Amino acid sequence: MRIALPTRIDPAAFATRDASAPIVTLEGPTMGTRWRVLYAGRADPAPIAAAITQTLARIVAEMSHWDADSVLSRFNRAPAGHWIDLPPDFAHVIAAALRIAGSSDGAFDPAIGHLVNAHGHGPTRASGSCNGWHHLAWDAAARRLRQPGGLALDLSGIAKGHAVDALANVLRRCQIGHALVEIGGELRGTGIRPDGDPWWVDLENPPGAPLAPLRIALHDLAVATSGTYIRGDHNLDPRTGRPAAHGVAAASVIHPSAMEADAFATALTVLGPDAGAAFAIRHALAARLVMRRRGTWDEWLSPALLAMLEP
C-alpha cells in the first residue's frame, strides 16, 4: 500500500477536532449520478441537506446541457453576436475552463457541445460546425460571454468538480470544518476524522491492472479521475474531433480545487502519456497516469505526487 500525504497540515484541524463526534452521512441524486457527504459533528443534518440540495439545483439550472431551460442551453441557442450575462457560479467555471483550455492548447475545451452530441454523449444527435474555445469572447469584469454563432458549450469535464467545491463551501458556511464530499467519484476532503485520521481515499485501478494500491489523505485536498475504463472512449480530443486514443486508461489529479482537478484530469487523458506527463510536470500537478499499451499496463506518477508519497 502506497500512501500519499498532503505537503501541509492545518493545525486548526486538530484544534477543532471532537474525538467523540459522530460521522453523519447525507446523499442523493444529481447530475446523472449521486452526491454523498460525510461530516463529523453534531449539527442538525436537515438544514444542511436542504442547503446542499438547493446548491446543486442551482448549479444544474445554470450549467446542465440536458436541461433545455438552463443558462448553458440558452447560451447555446443564442444568436450570433449575443452577449449572455452569467451568474457567479457559471462565471467562475467558465473563467477556469478558458484558462485551462489555453494552457492545455485545447486538450480541455468547454466549447465542444456539438462534438459531444455527434458522438452520442449529449442530449441530442444534432451537431454543428462551430467548435472550440478560441471562438468565445469572455468579458470577465462584466461576467458575460459572447455567442459567436452556432457554438455549443459542454461543461461536463469541469462542472461536477465545481459542484464538489460548492458543497464544501456549503459545509463551511454551516460551521462544519471536517467533511468528505463526493459527486460521482470526484472527491474533496476538509479537516480530519474524529479519530484523528485524514479522510482516506483509494485511487481505483482499472480492472486487470496489477498496480499497487495508492491511498490518498484528502486533507484540504481534492482528487478527480478521468479515463476510458468505465464508460469507454467518451473523452473526445477537441483538436481532432475524435475519441482520445493514446492508451491512457485513467488520469487522476490531486489538487486543492476539485474543479481544477476535474478539468486537468480530462486534459491529461486527451494529451496522452508523453504530452500529458510533460504538462503535469510543467504545471506542478500531483498526477497519476495509467496506460495500457501493447497489452501491458504501465503507471506514471508525477514528481509532485512522488513528493507526497510516504517514505
202 among the known binding-site residues? no
Listing DSSP states for the chain in one string gives -EEE--S---HHHHHT--TTPPEEEEEEEETTEEEEEEEES-S-HHHHHHHHHHHHHHHHHHH-SS-TTSHHHHHHHSPTT-EEE--HHHHHHHHHHHHHHHHTTTSS-S--HHHHHHTT-SS-S---SB--GGG-EEETTTTEEE--SSB----TTTHHHHHHHHHHHHHHHTT--SEEEEETTEEEEES--TTS---EEEPPPPTT-----EEEE-SSEEEEEEESTTTSS--EETTTTEE--S-EEEEEEEES-HHHHHHHHHHHHHH-HHHHHHHHHHTT-EEEEEEEETTEEEEEE-HHHHTTB--
Q: How many CB atoms lie within 10 A of CB 78?
A: 18
- Beta strands 214-217 and 2-4: pairing type? parallel
266 among the known binding-site residues? yes
177 among the known binding-site residues? no
Task: Give binding residues for Mg(2+) as ranges.
Answer: 157, 262, 266
> Which residues are annotated as part of the binding site?
157, 262, 266
